[in-house]
Amino acid sequence: MNNKILAVDDDRHIAELIKLYFEKDGFSVITAHDGRTALDLFKAESPSLVILDIMMPGMDGWQVCREIRRISTIPIIMLTAKGETFDKVLGLELGADDYMVKPFDTKELLARVKAVLRRSEAKEVTTDKELVFPNLTINLSNYELKLDGKLVDLPPKELELLYFLASNPNRVFTREQLLEEVWGFDYFGDSRTVDVHIKRLREKLEGYEDSWQLKTVWGVGYKFEVHA
């Protein structure tokens, strides 16, 4: 397994702290202190995961995350000093896999990185997985979503959530169950994460739902409903 981590933070002390702590655990860590350098290193070094600070001068973490997601589905963990819901929601919408609020415990960050990498590694060994419904094709092998035969850009976690629900048509799942199944049992986030992803999925699926529907079951959770 590639154990190379790219740690991006304009605070050099934080970046070096991450580097020292992770290298003691056997990881190889490269650091960057601005967004443009981070993108250059990402393309040159092919890391297995990116730890990405949001608030940086020039190109901020949001922009870096967008650019990475254009070319890769590798895991991204966002760092935010604010801890506001807006920051968390935006990061998840852009395709981040997890987030941590500063100041953070380095041991917890390491645990989150290992958890995300385990899930990412498990995805890589899955066999060809494709679900086909009228107007809708979900392919988990190449992370493609097609609506009426046209490719639609979708962050990895949104596609995984849709695939899981569509793999279990008409079955209702609670937010907690979806967090466990899609994000992993050791995910450190909260149930609002699911709501954010469902909202974004609905915006993209709107107008195509004839024989199927991404549906809320009030007081319980969500299901992928297939009409007879």
pLDDT in tens, 194-211: 898 999 999 999 888 888
Domain boundary residue, one of 101, 124, 147: 124
Kindly report the pTM of this predicted structure.
0.63
Report the Cα–Cα distance between both ends of the chain, in Å, rounded: 45
| C-alpha distance from residue 62 to each of 59, 94, 124, 147, 200 (Å) | 8, 8, 26, 27, 17
Among the three residues 107, 124, 141, which one is the final residue of a domain in this structure?
A: 124
- Looking at the structure, tell me whether residues 32 and 82 fall in a common domain: yes
Q: Taking a C-beta distance cutoff of 8 angstroms, is the pair 117, 124 a contact?
A: no
User: Are 108 and 182 in a shared domain?
Assistant: no
pLDDT in tens, 30-69: 999 999 999 999 999 999 999 999 888 889 998 999 899 8
Q: Do 97 and 142 reside in the same domain of the chain?
A: no
Domain boundary among 79, 105, 124: 124
109-135: average pLDDT: 78
Q: What percent of the chain has pLDDT over 90?
A: 50
Q: Which pLDDT score, from 0 to 100, does residue 7 have?
A: 97
| 190 shares a domain with 174 | yes
Range of the domain at 28: 4-124
Residue 1, pLDDT above cutoff 60: no
CATH number at residue 200: 1.10.10.10
Tell me the pLDDT of the chain averaged across its residues. 86
* 95 and 136 co-located in one domain: no
Are 114 and 209 part of one and the same domain?
no
Assess whether 8 and 119 both reside in one domain: yes
Q: How confident is the model at residue 102 (pLDDT cuts 50, 70, 90)?
A: confident
Residue 176 is predicted with a pLDDT of: 87
Number of domains in the chain: 2
Could you tell me the pLDDT band of residue 161, with boundaries at 50, 70 and 90?
very high
